[in-house]
A and B are shown apart, each in its own frame.
Chain A
Amino acid sequence: MEEEKPWVLISEVGGDHGYLAELADIVKQHFHIICYKELLENPELYGPKVQALLNWKFCPVVEPELLRLLPSLKVVASGGVGVDHLDVPFINSLGVKVANTPGVVSDSTADLAMALLLASARRILEGHQVAIDPKTVLIPQRLMGVEVTNASLGIIGMGEIGHKIAQRAKGFDMKIVYHNRRRRSAEDERAVGAKFCESLDELLGRSDFVMVAVKLTAETRGLIGHRELSIMKPTATLVNISRGQVVDQNALVDALQSGRIRAAALDVTHPEPLPRDHPLLGLPSVLITPHIGINTFTTARRMVERMVRNARAAVEGSPVPDEVKLQ
């Protein structure tokens, strides 16, 4: 006879914001799932049963009001590596652990970073639109992009994702410089042919492509503003795969409209999605994707498996493999 599985709270299965059915099935192997909507139908009955909360694409929103309904909660297991959307100290103060999924997201996110860089540089979106336009009768001779091979790439944030971006860029013979809180080992640098830039300004001034791969913290909020954008080359492209708040969006709009930088490619904005009348949406030099850095079945599956592993450990009282511990 099957023992009742521990209860886990998720946003929803299917629908617009929810888990794909295949991903929910991974969770169901180990947990009894209750969706947010169902919880709210009878919070007094269901709330105390919930031992783990799985947070996927920021849902369900982990606010005090929700946590109050979950007296037996042991862990908030978030999908993804960023935890800026979680008040970790507050959650910890309730005796609840927080876990994320580092590592498994890195390849997929680095791939997307390069996809954005290349699509922007070689004007693939515009090319496609011209190629399928009913009015197109001739191959356009003026649709010119910028060269990626041998160009300078400046990576801001050389964690696991930043390093993997460097590895990919090396295949294109790009000249790679990076800026990071701490310098990486000589071996790490040599592996990808990257040079350390003590000065962020120096990186900004010499790069044809500026890649933002930091995590969002108090120090990195607004890291790229008016000043930084004006140091960049007018032929440069900004690529952001970190968090929208790392870039001062108004400053970015300004810089693009006045030609102080050539283009921007963003997988992240603030908020997500942007209001429909936001100026970024109308600029021809901007490529925006809807936060799809980890959107492949392979990676999503691995993330959910990690979330489940973290949640099970917390419920069983074992050490949580990816526990987020603040310094």
Chain B
Amino acid sequence: MAEEKPWALFSEVGGEGYLEGVIGIMKQHFQLICHKDFLKNPLVYGPKIQALFVWNCYPAAEPSLLTSLPSLKVVANGGVGIDHLDVSYINSLGVKVTNTPGVVSAATADMAMGLLLASARKIVEGHLISVDPKTTYLPSSLMGVEVSGSTLGIIGMGNIGYKIAQRGKGFDMRILYHNRTRRCLEDEEAVGAIYCRNMDDLLKESDFVVLAVNLSPETKHLIGHRELALMKDTATLVNISRGLVVDQEALLKALQSGVIQAAALDVTYPEPLPRDHPLLSLPNVLLTPHAGTNTNTTVRKMVQLMVENAVAVVKGSQVPNEVKL
């Protein structure tokens, strides 16, 4: 006779939630209830729920929700960033927090390089000219900037930053990095990365500055007026971390006045930007809608790991990715 599976609360299937194909992974181990259904009768469902799955910040793990989940053991996040979760508060309720590092790294690093190259070589502009009904000849003036042999400055050399370095090396880029802690010599040599203890040095020398930090009180507005002014006026800023790592107003001014040449952003604050935001209409800005992990392969791996974490907590076994402060 099948044991009843533990109950888990999640956002929704389809719409703003999960792709239909991955729900099966969750159902293997949990009895699922979506947020909308939960809200129809929170007093009945609340006490059953042992796991809360958070995807794209939904459902919000706030007091209003958590206080109605007395049996909750874990908030299991899909994704590695947990800046949207008050971990110390959640822990104070006796609830663990887990995330999904590792499985997101390759796809996010690929996206960082995709943005860097698309911006440098004017892929979007090129395509729009190619398909424009008014185009009658090839433009000779659509010039980009050289990627091969240029200097790549990586701020934040965790799993994702390191994979970006590995990819940059393939283009014979000179790689500088800045990180809270220096990586070991072996790691540095494997990707030919040079440590910059002082972030200012990295900013001054880089042709491409890529932000791959996590968002914390220390990294909020890490890149502001001062940092942008240190960058070369031919440099490109690539952000795949969080919108708040950059002072957006400062970035806007820097792009408008030519303090830096271009920006390619997978993340902004908020997401999406208000429709009248000036960043949307700058010709030297490439924006993607937080698509860093948007492949079926990676989404599957993220859900699998998210579920694995939740199962481990509920069963009381070793938790692969508990977020410990």
Residues of chain A whose beta carbon lies under 8 Å from any beta carbon of chain B: 16-20, 57, 107-108, 110-112, 114-116, 118-119, 121-125, 127-128, 130-132, 134, 136-150, 167-173, 272-274, 276, 281-282, 287-292, 295-300
Chain A residue with Cβ nearest B141: A20
Docked pose: A121 CA to B117 CA in angstroms: 13
Given the interface pairs A123-B291, A124-B288, the reply to whether A171 lies near B130 with Cβ below 8 Å is no
Contact among A112, A138, A143 for B16, CB-based, below 8 A: A138
A144→B295 contact, CB < 8 A: yes
A290→B129 contact, CB < 8 A: yes
Residues of chain B whose beta carbon lies under 8 Å from any beta carbon of chain A: 15-17, 19, 56, 106-107, 109-111, 113-115, 117-118, 120-124, 126-127, 129-131, 133, 135-149, 166-172, 271-273, 275, 280-281, 286-291, 294-299
Docked pose: A288 CA to B223 CA in angstroms: 34
Chain B residue with Cβ nearest A164: B148
Shortest B27–chain A CB gap in Å is: 19
B137→A132 contact, CB < 8 A: no
> In the complex, which residues of chain B have a beta carbon less than 8 angstroms from the beta carbon of A282?
131
B287→A131 contact, CB < 8 A: yes
Q: Besides the contacts A143-B291, A145-B294, A288-B131, what 8 more A-B pairs have beta carbons closer than 8 Å?
A: A111-B148, A127-B291, A131-B280, A167-B170, A171-B171, A290-B126, A295-B142, A297-B146
> In the complex, which residues of chain A have a beta carbon less than 8 angstroms from the beta carbon of B143?
20, 295-297, 300
A299→B146 contact, CB < 8 A: yes
> In the complex, which residues of chain B have a beta carbon less than 8 angstroms from the beta carbon of A172?
110, 113, 167, 170
Docked pose: A108 CA to B121 CA in angstroms: 9
Contact among B138, B289, B294 for A273, CB-based, below 8 A: B138
Docked pose: A290 CA to B139 CA in angstroms: 7
Chain A residue with Cβ nearest B288: A127
Shortest A216–chain B CB gap in Å is: 17
> In the complex, which residues of chain B have a beta carbon less than 8 angstroms from the beta carbon of A119?
114, 117-118, 123
A296→B286 contact, CB < 8 A: no
Shortest A248–chain B CB gap in Å is: 19
Shortest B267–chain A CB gap in Å is: 10
> In the complex, which residues of chain B have a beta carbon less than 8 angstroms from the beta carbon of A171?
166-171
Docked pose: A110 CA to B168 CA in angstroms: 13
> In the complex, which residues of chain A have a beta carbon less than 8 angstroms from the beta carbon of B167?
171-172
A132→B117 contact, CB < 8 A: no
A124→B272 contact, CB < 8 A: no
Ordered by A's residue number, 24 sampled pairs between the chains whose C-beta atoms are within 8 Å are A16-B139, A57-B140, A108-B146, A108-B148, A111-B147, A115-B114, A115-B117, A115-B147, A116-B123, A119-B114, A122-B110, A123-B294, A127-B291, A128-B286, A131-B289, A137-B272, A138-B272, A139-B272, A142-B19, A144-B19, A145-B295, A171-B167, A272-B138, A281-B131
Contact among B110, B133, B166 for A118, CB-based, below 8 A: B110
B140→A16 contact, CB < 8 A: yes
> In the complex, which residues of chain B have a beta carbon less than 8 angstroms from the beta carbon of A140?
289
> In the complex, which residues of chain B have a beta carbon less than 8 angstroms from the beta carbon of A118?
110, 113-114, 117-118
> In the complex, which residues of chain A have a beta carbon less than 8 angstroms from the beta carbon of B286?
124, 128
Chain B residue with Cβ nearest A141: B16
Shortest B14–chain A CB gap in Å is: 8
A125→B121 contact, CB < 8 A: no
Chain B residue with Cβ nearest A19: B140
> In the complex, which residues of chain A have a beta carbon less than 8 angstroms from the beta carbon of B110?
118, 121-122, 147-149, 172
> In the complex, which residues of chain B have a beta carbon less than 8 angstroms from the beta carbon of A134?
275
> Which 10 pairs, one residue from A and one from B, show the smallest C-beta to C-beta distance?
A171-B170, A118-B114, A127-B288, A115-B117, A289-B126, A107-B148, A149-B106, A131-B287, A288-B130, A298-B146
Chain B residue with Cβ nearest A266: B130
> In the complex, which residues of chain B have a beta carbon less than 8 angstroms from the beta carbon of A299?
146
A124→B124 contact, CB < 8 A: yes
Docked pose: A171 CA to B56 CA in angstroms: 29
Chain B residue with Cβ nearest A297: B143
B117→A149 contact, CB < 8 A: no
